[in-house]
Chain A
């Protein structure tokens, strides 16, 4: 057992004993329990790593592995600032948000004007002291409070004057007023990160609910709303976003930023992934499918999204919990400059706040956001250096060495801002039209990236060999339906069951085939997914367990068996996180549908890095085999009308001399179960989308007819990707485009994905029950066809999903278009009542050459 110290938002310390191997969520739930907080998804625990950078504690990972040598001190903070706090259900949640914002404001991280400082300060007084009492509250009564980074007498007088005017306002009302004003501040909820643009100019990247903001000094020089971002990735210390093409553009462009170091880049990437998922999606995205071992971080946001938490909050039915709004604790700490510093410096965490993964040290050097921390630019510099050190510690030694040698090459990418990039907001039709009419032959056109087929990273192999693996395989015989009894979320359930089946099938199918390694990778995949359900297992889990059918021994065993493997994968996670990517919404389809394009543009250099591995290297050919589980679950709306629903999702994988896979999912167009028309239109409403996350789960929405609408194709970036620089709009308009080199990535891997928008919004949290799952495999000389059928029952709706995978192995050159067309055609013929929701063609001809 270890003793943790958590600094609460009111400045108090919460000691908590945890097991050494406890996961982050254990402590987080303890804290929430203590606070009596139900709407906890907006919050998180942060800690300072040994380089003094503030990090969010990943709830799914062991705390020990995250904090490493740092002390067990954490800080409870707001992680996602709700853009409209009035929509929070409980006053206590609003109160905690107020506490966070007061810190943000007092520390200068949330800049505001004199008048605003005074106004917000006056609401703080009203909330904490009640009505102004001329006898009790003499003018100096407020000097205990810290309203602004630099608080003047004049300001205090103004605060008092305003305080008097709030007479009669309850604390809850005052908090609400506070929030209603604070939320309008332009930097509300913006998590700033230092970066440089292509010309080495210092800029700040701000991540917020709506997207990514680019600042130069205090000025906003660009903005990329989430719907415009196709992909977020990082590689070493570079951070990239790929932007949807604009009205006059045919190609996507990629904007690159240079972060101080690798860890900073990764942290920014994570924050983006989390914010995007939380604010834009209905349900969290699945962790990266092992099929496309992207080598990079598999990190995905694992908590509930805002939509989910709102839904859950609406079910809160309890008398408003009592809590004390006492300023006393805070007065002695955070409301006073000095104590704050001490709180922080003792390592106990953000106090002054580092919500959203903010990195106070970095912020110090920004003039717009000063942190209360004592150190200034120096600290930032120091941490930078330190961070880069530790970043290297991160990696295997061999890796580190390799990286160094590659750095030269890597670091030289020049990114040029595309002039029209930012002008495309109004115009989405072209894009849409394109996608809508996309015929098979067009599949390749719009979205192309390379997929040098990654080899399994070390942990993958380790896992393969681990006992857990074999256990899992043995567990095959057990009926998958049982499994989900223990799993909190239906889609996870189905998914893992799915994967499992698939993997079994594939393994079986390929046993006699040249592709032997499949088995390994498949197993990895399974393991990969399990952390998710396990993690999500918070409260939902309990509910589920009760609600769903009797736990079965067999299932239990299976679950337990998984554990070691999960841990193994987690622990090795960091080793392969040199880079990672994330696709916010390739198609404005909701998470489940957004498949991770296998478009890793990783150079071979990186592949090489992964090579030194304990296990015998499987033939590269094997990997593509592991098709991403097609997330076959269509979530059922909470109040879902009891419509029987069916889906079929053939997955077709084609493998040729390299590998070609096609994956196809069919889903019947159908039943009114809560998909909004808007969703169906997919990209059709870019602008609307910017306004709000799509609320697929909303009962009020009507599901419309749909045909597959969204298509994305991947091909080597050589062809399609323009590397683009960030610079401000001004430069853009002046067309000072310093196009230099377009980095060329040699690769022969190609992936084409075809997705229907229809499943949009699936997975609104309602757990489903896997009814049946069966896998049929047929083989011919060079083709293996695996058909996998799952039936899931969720809230009265049953859904059938057929996934067909065809693996073609051979030397002949396969015409993808034809293969794809054929696959779709067949699928449609075989299942006329179903719709194709996804088709993936993955081809690997040969491993790319190292660009070095």
Chain B
């Protein structure tokens, strides 16, 4: 019997979504970059392939919706922890409808669905860092206090602390979990500052792994029955220095995954999937 808060990183399913053609032109982005659509699509295929074939997750692939240029970034539409899925209310108006398909997919997976209906609330999943013991929610351009409150209500077992995100898009634009109790963090000043706040706010101790590039700090950690610690991280081509740091993780099965095109529209590795564990959790 898996107890409460056991099995961090244990996943059986993933929800992903295809890239619409509108992404290249219409997807939101903080900087003006031209996106090579076909390259982005190839990149995404590889990503899904890793989840499905290399890691053996059951992958639910939602079709692209041309009216939702950012829809590939499914992470923002839902926060799943244990049996509960919180359907968010994304901060960007143009992305609100992305949650519809997500809600359906998660309902089909038999999760307890909690919806964020409050019109004053906004929350992007990219601002939610779940450490296995607690949540940190970045208060950013996309996520507000009310959104964080609703998240806290949805996941009552856990402490939910807020962290200001003053630069970058999301909280997870410069950090993520690299293992149980291991926070991967970028080197920028605001990233380091956010880490300190998280450490201060927590009753738990976290180790940190600092990588030179903020966006490289966004990686995907899993703990899979047959594979142990798995880490999907940036490729050496994109971030050579940061990749070297990841290579020091000896206990992890390291899988570099290219994210060159999607990053141009502020998509990080975690953005492109919602990971679910249907096996344990009581």
Bound-state Cα–Cα, A216 to B133, Å: 20
Give the segment of B72-80, B97-105, B199-207, B235-243 that binds chain A. B199-207
Give the segment of B59-67, B150-158, B260-268 that binds chain A. B150-158
Given contacts A114-B112, A181-B4, A186-B159, contact A223 B202 (CB under 8 A): yes
Residues of chain B within 8 A (CB-CB) of A181 are 3-4
Residues of chain A within 8 A (CB-CB) of B133 are 184
User: Mask for B140-158, Cβ within 8 A of A = 1, else 0?
Assistant: 0000010011001101111
Q: A177 interface residue, CB < 8 Å from B?
A: yes
CB of B282 within 8 A of CB of A219, answer no
CB of B197 within 8 A of CB of A733, answer yes
Q: B244 interface residue, CB < 8 Å from A?
A: no
Of the candidates A166, A180, A733, the one whose C-beta lies within 8 Å of that of B193 is: A733
Bound-state Cα–Cα, A578 to B125, Å: 48
Residues of chain B within 8 A (CB-CB) of A116 are 4, 156-157
CB of B139 within 8 A of CB of A730, answer yes
CB of B197 within 8 A of CB of A219, answer no
How many A-B pairs fall under 8 Å by CB? Answer: 111
Q: B188 interface residue, CB < 8 Å from A?
A: no
A147 to chain B, nearest CB (A): 14
Name the CB-closest residue of A to B148: A219
Residues of chain B within 8 A (CB-CB) of A347 are none
Residues of chain B within 8 A (CB-CB) of A210 are 203
Give the segment of B160-168, B176-184, B211-219, B223-231 that binds chain A. B160-168
B61 to chain A, nearest CB (A): 28
Bound-state Cα–Cα, A133 to B199, Å: 47
Residues of chain A within 8 A (CB-CB) of B203 are 210, 223
CB of A423 within 8 A of CB of B193, answer yes
CB of A730 within 8 A of CB of B162, answer yes
Bound-state Cα–Cα, A425 to B198, Å: 10
Bound-state Cα–Cα, A113 to B153, Å: 9
User: Mask for A405-427, Cβ within 8 A of B = 1, else 0?
Assistant: 00000000000000000111110
Consensus secondary structure, chain B interface: mixed
Bound-state Cα–Cα, A691 to B199, Å: 13
Name the CB-closest residue of A to B84: A113
A192 to chain B, nearest CB (A): 13
21 A-B pairs with C-beta separation under 8 A = A111-B157, A112-B157, A115-B82, A115-B83, A162-B282, A184-B3, A184-B5, A186-B134, A217-B145, A218-B160, A219-B137, A220-B159, A220-B162, A220-B201, A423-B200, A424-B200, A728-B162, A732-B164, A733-B164, A733-B166, A733-B197
Bound-state Cα–Cα, A118 to B82, Å: 14
Bound-state Cα–Cα, A220 to B198, Å: 11
Q: A165 interface residue, CB < 8 Å from B?
A: yes
Q: B30 interface residue, CB < 8 Å from A?
A: no
User: Mask for A703-741, Cβ within 8 A of B = 1, else 0?
Assistant: 000000000000000000000000011101110000000
Of B83, B155, B156, which is in contact with the most chain A CB atoms at under 10 Å from its CB?
Answer: B156
B23 to chain A, nearest CB (A): 32
A422 to chain B, nearest CB (A): 5
A140 to chain B, nearest CB (A): 22
From residue 236 to 282 of chain B, which have CB atoms closer than 8 A to chain A? 281-282
Bound-state Cα–Cα, A730 to B201, Å: 12
B35 to chain A, nearest CB (A): 32
Q: A671 interface residue, CB < 8 Å from B?
A: no
From residue 680 to 712 of chain A, which have CB atoms closer than 8 A to chain B? 687, 690-691
A179 to chain B, nearest CB (A): 11
CB of A217 within 8 A of CB of B149, answer yes
CB of A113 within 8 A of CB of B139, answer no
Name the CB-closest residue of A to B139: A730
Bound-state Cα–Cα, A691 to B163, Å: 22
User: Assuming A218-B153, A222-B200, what are 4 further A-B pairs, CB within 8 angstroms?
Assistant: A162-B282, A184-B5, A186-B159, A223-B203
**Partner-B contacts on A (CB < 8 A):** 111-116, 118-119, 162, 165-166, 177, 180-181, 184-186, 210, 216-223, 422-426, 687, 690-691, 728-730, 732-734
A683 to chain B, nearest CB (A): 17
CB of A729 within 8 A of CB of B164, answer yes
CB of B164 within 8 A of CB of A730, answer yes
Of B1, B3, B134, B200, which is in contact with the most chain A CB atoms at under 10 Å from its CB?
Answer: B200
Q: B196 interface residue, CB < 8 Å from A?
A: yes
Residues of chain A within 8 A (CB-CB) of B197 are 422-423, 729, 733
Bound-state Cα–Cα, A180 to B1, Å: 12
Of B134, B152, B157, B160, which is in contact with the most chain A CB atoms at under 10 Å from its CB?
Answer: B157
Q: Bin the interface of chain B by size.
A: 35 or more
A127 to chain B, nearest CB (A): 15
CB of B4 within 8 A of CB of A184, answer yes
CB of A184 within 8 A of CB of B152, answer no
CB of B156 within 8 A of CB of A177, answer no
Of the candidates A115, A691, A729, the one whose C-beta lies within 8 Å of that of B282 is: A115
Name the CB-closest residue of B to A423: B196
A107 to chain B, nearest CB (A): 14
CB of A186 within 8 A of CB of B163, answer no
CB of A217 within 8 A of CB of B196, answer no
A355 to chain B, nearest CB (A): 19
Residues of chain B within 8 A (CB-CB) of A180 are 3
CB of A222 within 8 A of CB of B149, answer no
Of the candidates A185, A219, A222, the one whose C-beta lies within 8 Å of that of B145 is: A219
CB of A425 within 8 A of CB of B200, answer yes
B79 to chain A, nearest CB (A): 13
Name the CB-closest residue of B to A691: B205
Name the CB-closest residue of A to B81: A113
Residues of chain B within 8 A (CB-CB) of A162 are 1, 282
Of A217, A220, A222, which is in contact with the most chain B CB atoms at under 10 Å from its CB?
Answer: A220
CB of B164 within 8 A of CB of A218, answer no
Of the candidates B149, B166, B200, B281, the one whose C-beta lies within 8 Å of that of A115 is: B281
Of the candidates A118, A165, A184, A222, the one whose C-beta lies within 8 Å of that of B157 is: A184
Bound-state Cα–Cα, A118 to B281, Å: 11
Given contacts A177-B3, A691-B205, contact A217 B200 (CB under 8 A): no
Of the candidates B84, B201, B205, B282, the one whose C-beta lies within 8 Å of that of A222 is: B201
Residues of chain A within 8 A (CB-CB) of B201 are 220, 222-223, 422, 729
Name the CB-closest residue of B to A154: B112
CB of B202 within 8 A of CB of A734, answer no
CB of A220 within 8 A of CB of B139, answer no
Among all A-B residue pairs, the 4 with the closest Cβ atoms: A186-B159, A218-B152, A730-B164, A220-B161
CB of A219 within 8 A of CB of B161, answer yes
Of the candidates A115, A218, A425, the one whose C-beta lies within 8 Å of that of B199 is: A425
A129 to chain B, nearest CB (A): 18
CB of A118 within 8 A of CB of B164, answer no
Bound-state Cα–Cα, A116 to B155, Å: 10
Name the CB-closest residue of B to A210: B203
CB of A185 within 8 A of CB of B157, answer yes
Name the CB-closest residue of B to A110: B156
CB of B196 within 8 A of CB of A426, answer yes
CB of B162 within 8 A of CB of A223, answer no
Of the candidates B155, B159, B164, B202, the one whose C-beta lies within 8 Å of that of A113 is: B155
CB of B205 within 8 A of CB of A729, answer no
Bound-state Cα–Cα, A290 to B148, Å: 48
CB of A729 within 8 A of CB of B163, answer yes
Of the candidates A112, A218, A687, the one whose C-beta lies within 8 Å of that of B205 is: A687
B125 to chain A, nearest CB (A): 17
A118 to chain B, nearest CB (A): 7
Of B4, B84, B145, B149, which is in contact with the most chain A CB atoms at under 10 Å from its CB?
Answer: B4
A762 to chain B, nearest CB (A): 28
Residues of chain B within 8 A (CB-CB) of A691 are 205
From residue 80 to 108 of chain B, which have CB atoms closer than 8 A to chain A? 82-84
Name the CB-closest residue of A to B2: A119
Bound-state Cα–Cα, A184 to B281, Å: 15
A541 to chain B, nearest CB (A): 37
Bound-state Cα–Cα, A673 to B139, Å: 50
B29 to chain A, nearest CB (A): 24
Of A166, A186, A217, A221, which is in contact with the most chain B CB atoms at under 10 Å from its CB?
Answer: A186
Name the CB-closest residue of A to B150: A218
CB of B148 within 8 A of CB of A734, answer no
Name the CB-closest residue of B to A116: B157
